């Protein structure tokens, strides 16, 4: 059997020239870090060398990494480390438990308040006593 000749697909001026146009960046760029003069690869899209790219990404927000502090969970007392100043609980479970406890407490307080108000409505306040005093 004769093999069919493939022709026309290996045209060197055809699709090859556009495929070889790999995206590249300006040559001779230096790492953006003030104390680093590593020459960046033209294929590196970052302003930093590989050693400083990570650092730049992590400290982008404030310039310095957030201080890690030890906090005792308000729910179970477990000490945990966090960089989040607002965090009060070691886990979501404790956060939910604390939320439920607060909700229960506020419900109880509300019920007590309603009871007190009902009590106040049935017994006349200082008014009656002052009237007695003025008569006497």
Which one of residues 73, 87, 88, 98 is an interface residue with Zn ion (CB under 5 A)?
73
69 φ/ψ angles, rounded to the nearest 5 degrees: -130, 160
Instruction: Say how many Å lie between the first and final Cα of the chain, rounded.
Output: 134
Piece of the chain touching Zn ion by CB under 5 A; list 35-43, 104-112, 114-122, 126-134: 35-43
Contact with Zn ion (CB under 5 A) among 29, 47, 52, 87: 52
Residues in the chain, overall count: 136
Alpha helices in 1-136 (DSSP H): 15-19, 50-58, 92-122, 127-135
Nearest distance in Å: CB 9, Zn ion: 45
Residues 77-116 that bind Zn ion (CB under 5 A): 78, 90, 94
- Residue 93 CB, shortest distance to Zn ion, in Å, is 7
């Amino acid at each position: 059997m004769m093999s069919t000749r493939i022709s026309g697909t290996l045209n060197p001026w055809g699709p090859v020239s556009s495929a070889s146009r790999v995206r590249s960046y300006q040559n001779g760029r230096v790492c953006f870090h003030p104390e680093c003069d590593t020459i960046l690869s033209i294929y590196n899209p970052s302003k930093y060398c590989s050693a400083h790219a990570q650092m730049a990404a992590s400290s982008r927000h404030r310039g310095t990494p957030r201080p890690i502090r030890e906090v005792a969970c308000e729910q179970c007392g477990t000490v945990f480390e966090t960089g989040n100043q607002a965090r009060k609980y070691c886990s979501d479970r404790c956060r939910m438990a604390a939320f439920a406890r607060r909700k229960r407490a506020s419900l109880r307080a509300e019920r007590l308040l309603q009871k007190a108000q009902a009590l106040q409505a049935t017994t006349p306040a200082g008014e009656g006593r002052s009237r007695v005093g003025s008569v006497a």
